[in-house]
Amino acid sequence: MTGPVAAILPGQRLHLQHGPIDLVIGADGDRDAAFAAATDRFQTVLEELVQELPLLRRPVGDAPAGLVAQRMHAACIPQAEGVTFVTPMAAVAGSVADEVLAAMVAAAPLTRAYVNNGGDIALYLGPGARFEIGLAGLDGIGLGRACVDADMAVRGVATSGAGGRSLSLGIADSVTVLAANAAAADVAATLIAGAVDLADHPEIRRVPASDVQDDSDLGDRPVVRAVGLLTPDEVARALAAGVAAARQMRQRGLIVGAALMLRGQARVVGDIAPRAVHDKQEEGILAHA
């Protein structure tokens, strides 16, 4: 069995990997101390999660014991108040990012830092600091930039959808969410991506999640495996379902903004819009929407 691994990537970024977790970390300030703290905290993260895995794979219920698991639980509780099926695993990536970031911030004076866990990103912004976050489609084509300032209530960015490693209940190419922390963004992105869907569409092939991944927290729920040809109207309908879910989350204060992409169409909900996409080409894409 292999343990956690740390390496420095070009550009003074720290790479931490253990089993399925890959973190890419950047820090401005006392970088060495921050990286040391991140590496230190990371040593036991996966083990802690594994110990409570059966509980974390069940629909949100009893509070878990581990620190990362508690972040997952806390992020999912308000979402579970809706009708939605959700397990704490929906927030696992964001929660790990938040936890490692917190360890860095506690250990070192920093002006700015991020922990990127496979697209679920926890941010730290000192006074006056800002991050520019590039949004890219699955084909690598830029979809614009989201600017996050210190005065915004955003410390987490997460993306969910067809390109991710996780199974999806919906057909979104990608859903990017800005929220108060990475865990909240993670679970919201997962749920909004799942809501981008067309019921009973013959071109959407689904199989029980357990057929794909025996251990999936989604059990026998049908996950999308392939999507055939969709008309522009159908794409718009699927996105509208996702937008409805995103708006509701925003009204309840669970997210700050979301950008939804499917087959060349995009929708934006909330604060991500005016800042996110400001060059001409992006306005073109939005005009389509």
Partner 1 sequence: MPDDTPRRPKPEKIRCDACPVMCYIADGKAGACDRYANHGGELVRLDPLTVIQSGARAVAFLHDDAQAQDWDGDVIQGDRTFVTAVGAGTTYPDYKPAPFIVSQDVEGVDMVTVVTEGIFSYCGVKVKIDTDRHIGHERAVVRVDGEAIGHVMTSEYGSKMLSLGGVEHLTGGSKKEGRVTCDALLRLCNRDAVEMQIDGGATLVVQAGKPPVINGAPEKLMRVGCGSATIGMFAKQWEGHVDEVIVVDDHITGVLTEHEAGKQLGMRPSGIRINGRRSTPGRYFQVAEPGTGWGGTDVDDPLTVLRPADPKNAWPGLRLLMVSTTGEQWAFFTLDEELQPQPADITPPLLKTCERIAENCEPSLCSVLFMGGAGGSLRAGVTENPVRLTHSVKDALTYVSCGGAEAYVWPGGGITFMADVMDMPTNSFGYVPTPALVAPIEFTLRAEDYAALGGHTEHVQPVDSVLNPEIRKVLPQGGPDPHTRQHHRWSHSRKGRK
* Shortest distance in whole angstroms from residue 22 CB to partner 1: 8
Which CB atom, from 210 or from 248, has the smaller least distance to partner 1? 210
Window contacting partner 1 (CB under 8 A); options: 72-80, 174-182, 211-219, 279-287: 211-219
* Shortest distance in whole angstroms from residue 23 CB to partner 1: 13
For the chain, what percentages of helix, strand and coil (3-state, to nearest 5) are there? Answer: 40, 30, 35
209 token code pair = 């999640």
What does the alpha-carbon distance between residue 186 and residue 184 come to, in Å, rounded to a whole number? 5
Window contacting partner 1 (CB under 8 A); options: 15-23, 68-76, 230-238, 281-289: 15-23
What does the alpha-carbon distance between residue 267 and residue 45 come to, in Å, rounded to a whole number? 35
Among 24, 33, 36, 152, binds partner 1 (CB under 8 A): 36
Residue 97 one-letter amino acid: A
Binding mask 139-168 for partner 1 (x = CB under 8 A): --------------------------x---
Which CB atom, from 171 or from 266, has the smaller least distance to partner 1? 171
Q: Does 58 bind partner 1 (CB under 8 A)?
A: no
Distances in Å between the alpha carbon of 83 and those of 57, 59, 77, 191, 216?
18, 12, 12, 11, 20
Q: Does 8 bind partner 1 (CB under 8 A)?
A: yes
C-beta separation of 14 from 38 below 8 A: yes
Q: Does 205 bind partner 1 (CB under 8 A)?
A: yes
**What SS3 state is found at 160?**
strand
What does the alpha-carbon distance between residue 177 and residue 159 come to, in Å, rounded to a whole number? 6
Among 2, 134, 229, 287, binds partner 1 (CB under 8 A): 2
